[in-house]
Amino acid sequence: MKQSRIMLLMGATALVAAAGGFEASHGSAGLPSPAPPAFASGTAQPSSDSVDVAPAALHNMDLHFATADVQPLVQTVRTTGVVAFNDLRMAQLSPPARGRIQSIEVAVGQPVRAGQRLALLDNFDLGDTRSHIAAAQASLVQARAEASAAQAAALSH
């Protein structure tokens, strides 16, 4: 970037130098040369940030002057485009296990903090484990009932 600026500056300088050499070798093509400004002894010298322009050159520049005033800037821009989310502010979520989302507890665009619950997941593996536990507990209850019935039958004989 810096190198391209330097090259641009060098090119512009060469262009100005070439134009100045052309101007000096061919004269000013019939334009009257402006006389150097004459300063009376009582007038102030121009400041270093001002430019003196001859009246003929000023007329050729087609400059217009106006008083500046503060106004609101209203500008309409019509264009086509695509509205998309910001990739840098998007998080990828992956559940710790297989399951189905039962509820989502935050809204789109709502700020969240670390550790906050975003959704409630019905874990399929946990559901399978719970059903196995329930089946085992039912088998245990049935085995105890059968054992009690066998004991009662053995005592009655």
pTM, two decimal places: 0.29
In a domain, 99, yes or no: no
In a domain, 80, yes or no: no
Element (H, E) at 100: strand 99-104
pLDDT tier at 139 (50, 70, 90 boundaries)? very high
Q: Once rounded to an integer, what is the mean pLDDT over residues 81-92? A: 82
Percent of the chain surpassing pLDDT 90: 17
CB within 8 Å of 46: residues ≥ 6 apart: 37, 52
In a domain, 82, yes or no: no
Which has more confidence, 40 or 130? 130
In a domain, 24, yes or no: no
Residue 96: its pLDDT value, please?
A: 78
Domain span holding position 150: 123-157
The answer to whether the beta carbons of residues 104 and 119 sit under 8 Å apart is yes
In a domain, 127, yes or no: yes
In a domain, 146, yes or no: yes
Q: What is the DSSP letter of 120?
A: E
Pairwise CA distance, residues 10 & 20, whole Å: 15
Q: How many domains does the chain have?
A: 1
In a domain, 61, yes or no: no
Answer yes or no: is pLDDT of 145 > 80.
Answer: yes
Answer yes or no: is pLDDT of 140 > 80.
Answer: yes
Q: Once rounded to an integer, what is the mean pLDDT over residues 121-137? A: 85
In a domain, 52, yes or no: no
Range in 16-20, 102-106, 123-127 the model is least confident about: 16-20
